[in-house]
Chains A and B, each alone.
Chain A
Amino acid sequence: MDIATLWSLRLGFSAKQSSYIEKDFKIFLQKSFVSKIDIQLPQALIDSPKTSEELKIKRQYLKNADPTEKKKYIADENKTNVELKVWWLEKIQKEEFPLREKMTCFWHNHYVSTFQKVKVNYWIYQHNQLLRENAFGNFRELTKQVLKTNAMVRYLDNTDNKKGKTNENLSRELLELFTLGVGNYTEDDIKNGAKALAGLGNGENNAVYRTKFEDNETITYLGKTGNFKSDDLVNIIFEQKNIPYLITKKILKWFLYDNPSEELIVYYGNYLKKNDFEIKPLLTKIFTEEFKNENAGKKIKEPLVYIFQLLDELNIKDANMKMVAFFLKDQGMDLFNQLNVKGWDGGNNWLTSQIFLQRNNASDLLCSRRIINKKGINADDLKQNPELEKINVKLDWNKSATNKEIIAELKNRLLFDADQSLQKDFENILKYDFNSNDPGAENAVLRLFNAMTKTPEFQLI
């Protein structure tokens, strides 16, 4: 695989950025770091409740609503959430420099907060937008801000954490999943942390402490004693020796290696600490140093990359993002809806034989110019017009090349490696007397493409 394509897939979602990367990797990174953030409220959220007043009205309404009204309300909010997924997926597809979205998705899977539990689309959006704005920011400061999102305090039940009646959920995950990881704190730290977080509940734009429920007891947290609030907890956590490693490991897994070595984690982790937990210098260092190494094929593609790479290769520009959203759900990467607070494990967990089969089915369908599911189409419209199931597909390939050159060209874009027997199979599809001027040539190259995307090698970057 050509190195620019490989890094385009790693730092984005398809091969779209490979020409930038080929030209100048450093400039590409710089431009990615300064990419603009769209602050316009998604269309889908215009009618969705946002202020605490509106949410209160909603709660009142649901209290008195009959079951059918209730059901309809819930169904509408679920639909809005699908629209929100579509909003994000469109962003992912259209972004000229998608590294920010790739990092947003990383944080989205680090500070998990799902719609299923939170049930307020606007809060989910706010949380997502915070991650976008701070995608390359400071890990410590971002952690502080995430603790103060309405989505997070609801998701990890801190809304139930009150003086005298504590709920430890947020306090536990702050240590276990967001920062230090198991083995670096005690159960007492969790208990005491919960006291410090007591009373931090939903507010207008952010979570706020409510005096009534606060616990101002003096506590000991990771060896420090005092009267602490959420920011203080985070500051104390970031003074701990092992703080840089969990996040560094996750970043290495997200971009490069399913199984990064301890050595590498410590090396980059220490750099993160030295730079006061600034993410941008860390990413710059990892990317520029790893760019020079031979390290292709060490990571299983996440479903997002799998599907956007196919859509991009086949030049499917007007792909229905609802279709994509439901494909991702089937693939175990449902946006805004991880199965639990740990998030998607990634690595080998991306694939089971059924998911692999489903990926192959998706490629088969796209290569036969058909949509992969009907989720994005109104059933009545489809009945009227079965053509809606069809899509335009156009693969780029060199029309004046020989069979072997075309195979090499596609391999370069699709496979990190291909052994002799694969090569033989490919030359069986595109034989030596293949004529690229033949009217059936387009279909034949598409079959080759289809076959390549079904190899185990295609699953890796």
Chain B
Amino acid sequence: MNRRNFLSLTGTFTGGMLVLPDFLKAFGATTNLIIGEQCVVFIQLNGGNDGLNTFIPFENPLYYEFRSQIALGKDEVIARNQGMAFHPALRNFADIQNNGDLSVIQNVGYPEPNRSHFRSQEIWQTASNSREYKSEGWLGRYLDLQCNQHQPTAGINIDSIDNLALRGLEPNSITIKDPNRFKVKNNADSIKLSENPQLDFVRKIANSASEGAAEIQKALAKSTAANTYPKTELSKNLEWISRLIKGNLNSKVYYTSLNGFDTHDNQISIHKNKLTDLNDAIFAFYTDLKEAALLQNVTLVVFSEFGRRVKDNGRGTDHGTAAPMFIIGGQNKGKIIGNNPNLGDLVNGDLKHEIDFRSVYASLLKEKLSFDYTKIGIENKPLTGLF
């Protein structure tokens, strides 16, 4: 069924849920069946995560020189290995690494880096170079080609707003603010939302309006909640993603984000809180999937639009360039890929990138989604050694 057919169907006012007869067929026909249904889960860290204080070059004296006020001490950092170590808040990252399920890709960025959040996110989300402007996201373009029929739940974005990365010509993804509303017993009617009954009415309609809602409900009904997740928003989002995966929703791509990494000031405590949140949520998700024996099918990707300036600005850091990416699960090789950050060779005080983020995308598309990345305009060679 294509979008036009869908539109004409909705005009029939049947009032019931949409019937999308070939919904389950399209993915079933892909060759992925042989190796199990693969999917990729993205966590976008908004604001520019400080890579150097996340995965730390603790043996490099320049690190302490540049960051006299915010450097983490040698005895604070954890899981030291070949000159690099994790922020203490990431204690479970160390465990996951020990299990061989975590790869770190160092110095990821792109040429002619842009230090605007707005623009740099756009570049990451569209997989463009810094002079190109694309109106469709890289995952949206992938889904346009992957689902030659309109698949409302091929991509799931759990967030309050649409994500450019998933925007394509066809609506192959949906944004869900609160998956709770898909629970079968929904008593939203009893909730008083505002002083305006007309607004409340439209809000209820908006809450119940989602293509693919039936599939999502089905997936949620099939899976149970793990009770090990902390009570943060990111944890909640990952828990929903896990339930959708366990319930066999068969989405190719899941996306969510965590705000608050723009640490211009008061970095030490803000960053610690954010990384704790990230660590706890990811570890709960990891454990959950591992127990469900699904970790080999699920690749978790953690990234941010840029890293931060090497030298601190006092109690914080300004916008920078290259930073590490983290890959968890999906049978990655559990390696540290790339050189340790070269603090002695900076451009305008920022790290030079060594690995292009699009080569990571290419690798994910090729290895995990069996898709020819050149079809969506990625020219970089896939990163080797990841899977």
Interface string of A427-443 (1 = CB under 8 A from B): 01111111100111001
CB B275 to nearest CB in A, in angstroms, measures 21
Most buried by B among A354, A417, A431: A354
Q: Using a CB-CB cutoff of 8 Å, which residues 344-391 of chain A contact chain B?
A: 348, 351-358, 360-361, 364, 368, 370, 372-374
B208 at the interface (CB under 8 A from A): yes
A357 contacts across to B, CB distance below 8 A: 10, 209-211
B210 contacts across to A, CB distance below 8 A: 353, 357
B119–A354 contact, CB under 8 A?
no
CB A425 to nearest CB in B, in angstroms, measures 5
A361–B206 contact, CB under 8 A?
no
A424 contacts across to B, CB distance below 8 A: 160
A425–B160 contact, CB under 8 A?
yes
B7–A373 contact, CB under 8 A?
yes
**Which residue of chain B is the closest to A360 with respect to CB atoms?**
B209
Q: Given A353-B209, A354-B209: A368 and B160 within 8 A (CB)? A: no
Contact partner of B118 (CB less than 8 A), chosen from A300, A417, A430, A460, is A430
B117 at the interface (CB under 8 A from A): yes
A297 at the interface (CB under 8 A from B): yes
A421–B11 contact, CB under 8 A?
no
B119–A297 contact, CB under 8 A?
no
B21 contacts across to A, CB distance below 8 A: none
User: How many angstroms between the C-alpha atoms of A233 and B271 in the bound complex?
Assistant: 80
User: How many angstroms between the C-alpha atoms of A234 and B142 in the bound complex?
Assistant: 66
Most buried by A among B3, B13, B135, B198: B198
A356–B206 contact, CB under 8 A?
yes
B302 contacts across to A, CB distance below 8 A: none
A298 at the interface (CB under 8 A from B): yes
B225 at the interface (CB under 8 A from A): no
A459 at the interface (CB under 8 A from B): yes
A302 at the interface (CB under 8 A from B): no
B266 at the interface (CB under 8 A from A): no
B116–A433 contact, CB under 8 A?
yes
B202–A330 contact, CB under 8 A?
no
B4–A440 contact, CB under 8 A?
no
A118 at the interface (CB under 8 A from B): no
Number of B residues near A (Cβ < 8 Å) is: 40
A444 at the interface (CB under 8 A from B): yes
B10–A374 contact, CB under 8 A?
no
A351–B198 contact, CB under 8 A?
no
B1 at the interface (CB under 8 A from A): no
A259 at the interface (CB under 8 A from B): yes
A373 contacts across to B, CB distance below 8 A: 4, 7-8
Q: Given A330-B10, A352-B13: A456 and B205 within 8 A (CB)? A: yes
Contact partner of B119 (CB less than 8 A), chosen from A438, A447, A450, A455, is A438
**Which residue of chain B is the closest to A459 with respect to CB atoms?**
B202
B197 contacts across to A, CB distance below 8 A: 259
Most buried by A among B136, B167, B206, B211: B206
CB A223 to nearest CB in B, in angstroms, measures 40
A447 contacts across to B, CB distance below 8 A: 162, 164, 167
**Which residue of chain A is the closest to B3 with respect to CB atoms?**
A361
Contact partner of A332 (CB less than 8 A), chosen from B13, B206, B259, is B13
Q: Using a CB-CB cutoff of 8 Å, which residues 1-24 of chain B contact chain A?
A: 3-4, 7-8, 10-11, 13, 15, 18
User: How many angstroms between the C-alpha atoms of A353 and B84 in the bound complex?
Assistant: 52
User: How many angstroms between the C-alpha atoms of A403 and B197 in the bound complex?
Assistant: 31
B205–A297 contact, CB under 8 A?
no
Contact partner of A374 (CB less than 8 A), chosen from B4, B164, B208, is B4
Contact partner of B206 (CB less than 8 A), chosen from A299, A329, A439, A456, is A456
A456–B199 contact, CB under 8 A?
yes
Most buried by B among A329, A372, A447: A447
Interface string of B192-218 (1 = CB under 8 A from A): 000011110111011011110000000
Q: Given A354-B209, A368-B135, A444-B118: A429 and B161 within 8 A (CB)? A: yes
A429 contacts across to B, CB distance below 8 A: 161
A258 contacts across to B, CB distance below 8 A: 198
User: How many angstroms between the C-alpha atoms of A348 and B161 in the bound complex?
Assistant: 25
**Which residue of chain A is the closest to B136 with respect to CB atoms?**
A368
Q: Given A352-B15, A435-B116, A444-B122: A298 and B196 within 8 A (CB)? A: yes
User: How many angstroms between the C-alpha atoms of A433 and B121 in the bound complex?
Assistant: 12
Q: Using a CB-CB cutoff of 8 Å, which residues 256-292 of chain A contact chain B?
A: 258-259
Q: Using a CB-CB cutoff of 8 Å, which residues 96-118 of chain B contact chain A?
A: 116-118
B7–A358 contact, CB under 8 A?
yes
A157 at the interface (CB under 8 A from B): no
**Which residue of chain A is the closest to B203 with respect to CB atoms?**
A456
User: How many angstroms between the C-alpha atoms of A370 and B3 in the bound complex?
Assistant: 12
B133–A297 contact, CB under 8 A?
no
**Which residue of chain A is the closest to B18 with respect to CB atoms?**
A354
User: How many angstroms between the C-alpha atoms of A445 and B6 in the bound complex?
Assistant: 28
B171–A361 contact, CB under 8 A?
yes
A435 contacts across to B, CB distance below 8 A: 116, 118-119
User: How many angstroms between the C-alpha atoms of A374 and B208 in the bound complex?
Assistant: 28
B117 contacts across to A, CB distance below 8 A: 431-433
B169 at the interface (CB under 8 A from A): yes
B161 contacts across to A, CB distance below 8 A: 425, 428-429, 451
B199 contacts across to A, CB distance below 8 A: 297, 417, 456-457, 460
User: How many angstroms between the C-alpha atoms of A434 and B211 in the bound complex?
Assistant: 32
A329 contacts across to B, CB distance below 8 A: 11
B196–A348 contact, CB under 8 A?
no
**Which residue of chain B is the closest to A348 with respect to CB atoms?**
B201
B3 contacts across to A, CB distance below 8 A: 361
Interface string of B159-181 (1 = CB under 8 A from A): 01110100101010000000000
Contact partner of A443 (CB less than 8 A), chosen from B135, B160, B203, B209, is B135
A332 contacts across to B, CB distance below 8 A: 13
B203 contacts across to A, CB distance below 8 A: 456
| In the complex, the 4 A-B pairs of residues with the closest C-beta atoms, listed nearest first | A330-B11, A353-B209, A456-B202, A440-B133
**Sampled A-B contacts (14; CB under 8 Å):** A259-B198, A297-B199, A332-B13, A354-B10, A354-B18, A354-B209, A370-B169, A421-B160, A424-B160, A428-B46, A431-B116, A433-B116, A447-B164, A457-B199
A interface residues, Cβ below 8 angstroms from B:
258-259, 297-300, 329-330, 332, 348, 351-358, 360-361, 364, 368, 370, 372-374, 403, 417, 421, 424-425, 428-435, 438-440, 443-444, 447, 450-451, 455-457, 459-460
Given contacts A432-B117, A440-B133, 8 further A-B pairs with CB under 8 A are: A298-B196, A354-B15, A356-B205, A361-B171, A370-B169, A433-B119, A435-B119, A456-B206
